[in-house]
Structure 1
């Protein structure tokens, strides 16, 4: 069974809610990452020189918007074509240069899911979680392919 229209709609609608309060949810997302993997701080230029995630930082917001937007785009592609094709061929290079390895993708996925759970509040469900997980996992596979 492929990625359904309903799954794509769940990801897209919660992504829109995420974007409505991007500065808050961006900080939350990176806080979750650093709580789980403090050493990851050095992988993000906007986190390197601070002890916490900077508030109202355009780079924090832009990167979070890109990450969540790419997962939403992955959901759209999965529903339409059954696969994820990266629009940005430099993603593999950038991730390799930053020293990203398999476990980092897991940390980001956990932080992404925790953030979306905060975004949707009482609308959180197993179905929503699976939709985001599936889209993220397929995006990660596409990035990892570009890294090799």
Structure 2
């Protein structure tokens, strides 16, 4: 993989700003995409476990979605500035282990993330934008998996 460019970082950060403008609806969409692909993943999220479908106004759902997107954006920044992703939150690995997260879950979340960004950005969506998010997400996922042991 070549170096993560300033242009790639800018694509991720600017599209994240677009996501934040409609974060509530897009957070619901993000988890809807996850459950469409992997209905069993519902049990991995405390805020989805006892609900029928994806709850619309759950602050925990929105906070978790925001955290996922923020981590990917932070990864994009780290990739450009340091060339690698380092996870600041020491609990991230153990929490994913405790929940029973597998490689397949990371794939589903990546797909849902990209679909959500595509929805958020509309006409601005491009292969270059998709690729920037993919690289940042893949590096984040690799760092989390490493922290999982």
TM bin (shorter chain): over 0.9
Q: Which residue number in structure 1 is paired with residue 105 of structure 2?
A: 104
Question: What is the TM-score with the length of structure 2 in the denominator?
Answer: 0.98
Q: Distance in 1 between the 2:39 and 2:139 partners? A: 25
Secondary structure at the residue paired with 2:47?
coil
Q: Distance in 1 between the 2:138 and 2:52 partners? A: 30
Q: Distance in 1 between the 2:62 and 2:18 partners? A: 14
Unaligned segments of structure 2, at least 5 residues: none
Where do 1:4-43 residues align within 5 Å? Answer: 4-43=5-44
Q: Which residue number in structure 1 is paired with residue 139 of structure 2?
A: 138
Structure 1, residues 45-93: CA drift from partner, whole Å, max 9, x if none? 0000012110111001000000000000000000000000001011000
Write out the 4+ residue segments of structure 1 that deviate beyond 4 Å after TM superposition: none
Q: Which residue number in structure 2 is paired with residue 45 of structure 1?
A: 46
Question: What is the TM-score with the length of structure 1 in the denominator?
Answer: 0.99
Unaligned segments of structure 1, at least 5 residues: none
- Pairwise CA RMSD: 0.5
Q: Which residue number in structure 2 is paired with residue 68 of structure 1?
A: 69
